[in-house]
Amino acid sequence: MQRNPLSAYSPKTFLKKREETYRPQKNYSLSSHNFGWKKILIISLCSLFILVMGGGFLYLQIRILKHLPDVSQIKDIQLTQATVITDRNGVELYKIFDENREYVTFENISKHMIDAIVAVEDQRYWEHEGLDPMGIFRAGFMTMLGRNGGGGSTLTQQLITNLMKLERPFHGSFLDKVDYKLTQIILAKRLNNVLQQQIKAENSNLSSTEVKHKMKEKIIELYLNYVFLGNNAYGVEAASKTYFNKSAKDLTVMEASILASIPKAPSRYDPYKSSALMGSFTIKDAAGKEYPYEGNIKASILSKFRENITSASFSNKKTAESFVRFVNSLSPSSLTLDGKVYTIQYSNGRAEFALGRMYENGKITEEELKSAFIESLTKTFEKSTFDIKAPHFVFWIKDLLEKEYGSGSTKKGGLVVKTTLDYNIQQLAEAAVKAHSASLFEYGASNSSLIYTDSTNGDVLAYLGSLDYFNKDIQGQNDMARNPRQSGSSIKPLIYALGFEKLPLTIDSPIYDIPFKAGKDSPNNADGKFNGSLPLKKALGFSRNIPAVKMFFALGGESVAKPFLQKLGLSGVKNEIEYGYPLALGAAEVSMIELAGAYQHLSTPTPAQINPILEIKANDGSIIYKKTPVVQENVIKPGIITLMWHILSEPSNRIGAWATKFNVKGLTYALKTGTSNVKTDKGSRPRDGWFAAYTPSRVLLMWAGNADARPMNSKAYGGSIHAESVKKFLSDMLAKGYITNEEMPNKDTSSISISSVSGKLPSEATPVSLITKTLGWNGLLPKETEGPISEIEIDISCFGKVSPFTPADQIKKGYLITPTSFMPNNMDLEDIKKYLAEQVQQTGATSALNFFMSEPQNYCPDRQPVTNDEIKINIVRPSKQGAFAKKNTVTYSISSPTNIKKVIVTLDGNTIASYIDNSSEVFGSKSIDLSAYADGNHQLGVTAVDVNNLSQSVQVAVNLVSEDTTPPTFNKSQSKVVKNADGSYDANLLFDDAVSAVKEGKVFEKGQTKALTTFSMQVAQFSTKASEVSVEVKDMYGNTLKQDINLETFNQTQE
């Protein structure tokens, strides 16, 4: 059972001792008469004593003991400490506190500091047990005289006063002051007992002397961690860092004496303001004018003073008072400089008194005393500041901590919170945004924010909540990274990602950007224009609204899109709000943190939950939290991540000048811009400008606008606002190695050929020019084959039928198609048909796609051909319907009364080739390539136009085939050989190919390897003296005829 610390002071015990001391002895020599009077006197005195003691006990009980706090809990006391927030590398970002305190143990406090505080505040500290009778007597005596004799309080009593929040009765009555002192004494004694019991329980092998010494160390430890040392510094560790930028364990003698001087009156001895703490000089000239202590005057005074101190002996100056007086006498009293005489007066500071006390107590040597004093002459203090780095991030961390550990925990908990922020990267982010703030203002924006994360572990590496936290004009303290805003087009990649999961799409699937009806509403693009049919990658890359709206409806609308977006962490997407299709255009208000988290799902198949705290340590150094990255559910499939990367990282998928606007040399990254708009009396105006970027391991989100939601200028698009800041930030990180160029893994995708018209698998009739090799997700590749499609030619001057008079540069390919839609419900099919029908009548950009539901029937104005029946055309090859290889020749002859100026070869009305001529008799044999056309029956035609623009056309049916496996043949009946008088031969040999055409050939004299002659097309003409030759003839497909021909017997055999 714990002994009552007050038992030594109880009246009962005191009385018992008095009785034992004054009990009458049996052998006494007093008369009985005298004894009676003495007995009465003793009884009276004892009764009086009992009454006094009883009254004293009653006084203690009523006025003091009844109201005393429980000291037994002091062993478990938790001093209020600052919570320190650092970046990942230990850079201090901020301290959050009611009292700026960092607790340190006795062992981590400089011995000089221990000696200094004892010397100044409680010289007999190590000798007494918490009460200093001499000090109490002095204070009490001076108080009775009505004078201030000092507190007479030991360090233990001061600690009790502070910890128990005892009120000092500075202006109270005499009894109030007695009560206060008695309370101090009783609680100090109890504190000693409590601490000794705790130490003994924890260290049972210690002797009573050792326990007492440990108790004294603990009291000094508590005192030096609690005491207020000015300028928001509570405790010796905070003060050491505030004034000297070092830990308490590293304090010098001089620094310790300075800190030990402050507790007496922190305001009076403020290191930054007070001349009473450190010694000071007053300098006057002969006229009494004061001069500042600086420059040459300062240097001269210091030199002389140091010299005097160094050479002086302090051996007989064993008291603080004598030391101070002696030091004062060593100061130079006058100085002559540049012909002027100055008088000098030195005033001592309290820190010198503390030094003297340490010397008096034998805690420092004379040399240490001199060295410390000389140090004091030039001692400067660190700037008192509580600068905050990354303020919005710090207060986000504070909110997270208080949510987890309770309100006020950051101000009292003494936590050390290591965050994920990298202050090196943070500085680059701040510099990048601020470097281009002028252009920000030009767009009508006053504010900007940024968040940069590691998507693989959820670390927040940089966080900028506003352009300037301290700028009230822009509402800089509003954290725009946590303030929900409409995300604009930056949400579109998420909608498209869901589209790949639900629909058989590829990155080149066509989507019509054309007028579109959504119920009673007509969505529009930001520029008010339409781009016609676009491959999906460009519909997203160009940030077209109508394709995004179609994707939204194709998925199934809000009922499908909302759960998906919420699963990505966008809590701003509310079930109770009906957004309609604007949800796909960023109508929901989301925070940058949430949107960054959603983009992490695009960055990696294993996105980690955003968590900005790495580690939390309690005030005793124990780790109470250590981050383990939480990998989230894979909401976006790996293959779809690959597809989105191919779309968003490819500059050619961006519109116009934006293709290269964001390029950073040496770094590939995906990006998407976004702009939300608000209706004003001047029309729709941008309000929020977004920029989202990511690599396979990093995500960057930026916002710009006005914190008060004022609209920006009409041209304030997200990409335009952020381009330069983004490039600077990423370039600077790349240069410093904070980011590297990464390759996105190509997972779960396949290369596939689709029709660029329908997005379906191409059919045999699909022209090669309309087949696109693209990329799709293996989970849902296109499987349906498209319907009929054929290639035609159009006159682009009016998108009409090609005439013989259409200039070659105005003849373009067009396609006869059956319109289809990627939307499962064909919601836009009628709009597509209407668009295709209208484009035939138009000449604008929308018609450049040249898709037709029916072939144009009308010629363009002034290009209607007029027939001249006197022009005769004979198509020699092909001569009749049969297999006609696509690589071939067309041979024709033309006879006209007037010169022919142009010959046109067509297939199914489409111009294959045209040739210029100027003759009334024309024979031509022209190579053609019909590989772009499908196998099967077609009409091959030849049109002749004369100098009067009159024309004639002839057609022949052909059956196109893709292959020819038979070699050419020798047409002997059409060949001719003449033997000359000198025995030589003139030969004219003709070769044919039934399916394709003769391409080339060689003629060799018998037995020779060097060709006598080479030829192209069908005819070989040569002269030779050799009677036998060999020929090698190839057709368009490489089939070869090898044959020997006897020229001597050629005519005989023929006959």
Q: Cα 437–440–441 angle (5° rounding)?
A: 95
pLDDT at 28 over 60: no
- Nearest residue to 604 via CA among 554, 579, 570, 638: 638
pLDDT at 446 over 70: yes
Kindly report whether the peptide bond that precedes residue 878 is cis, defined as omega within 30 degrees of 0: yes
> What spatial distance separates the first Cα and last Cα of the chain, rounded to whole Å?
147
pLDDT at 152: 63
pLDDT in tens, 951-970: 999 999 999 999 999 999 99
| Amino acid code (one letter) for 728 | K
pLDDT at 29: 44
**Range with the poorest average pLDDT among 293-297, 549-553, 892-896:** 293-297
**In the predicted model, what is the mean pLDDT of the chain?**
86
- The answer to whether 540 touches 496, Cβ cutoff 8 Å, is yes
pLDDT at 13: 35
pLDDT at 618: 87
pLDDT at 384: 65
pLDDT in tens, 590-627: 999 999 999 999 999 999 999 999 999 987 788 999 99
pLDDT in tens, 973-1003: 999 999 999 999 999 999 999 899 999 999 9
| Contacts (Cβ under 8 Å, ≥6 apart) of 630 | 458, 608, 609, 611
pLDDT at 9 over 50: no
| % of the chain exceeding 70 in pLDDT | 87
- The answer to whether 141 touches 152, Cβ cutoff 8 Å, is no
Q: Which domains does the chain have, with CATH numbers?
A: 7-22+33-67 (no CATH), 280-348 (no CATH), 480-736 (3.40.710.10), 866-961 (2.60.40.10), 969-1054 (2.60.40)
Q: Which residues of 361-373 are buried (b: 16+ CB within 10 A; e: fewer)?
A: bebbeeebbbbbb
Q: Which residues of 276-288 are buried (b: 16+ CB within 10 A; e: fewer)?
A: bbbbebebeeeee
Count CB-CB contacts under 10 A for residue 233: 26
94-108: average pLDDT: 86
In this structure, what token pair is assigned to residue 436? 């281009």
| Contacts (Cβ under 8 Å, ≥6 apart) of 376 | 254, 258, 278, 279, 349, 351, 352, 355
| Amino acid code (one letter) for 946 | D
Which DSSP string do the residues of 807-864 spell out, in sequence order? -GGGEEEEEEE----SSTT-TTHHHHHHHHHHHTT--SGGGGG-EESS---SBPTT--
Q: How confident is the model at residue 412 (pLDDT cuts 50, 70, 90)?
A: low
The 3 state secondary structure assigned to 85-98 is EECCCCCEEEEECC
pLDDT at 144 over 60: no
- The answer to whether 855 touches 792, Cβ cutoff 8 Å, is yes
In this structure, what token pair is assigned to residue 88? 């990942």
How far are the Cα atoms of 50, 273, 300, 366, 383 from residue 374, in angstroms, in the given order? 61, 21, 14, 12, 22
261-290: average pLDDT: 88
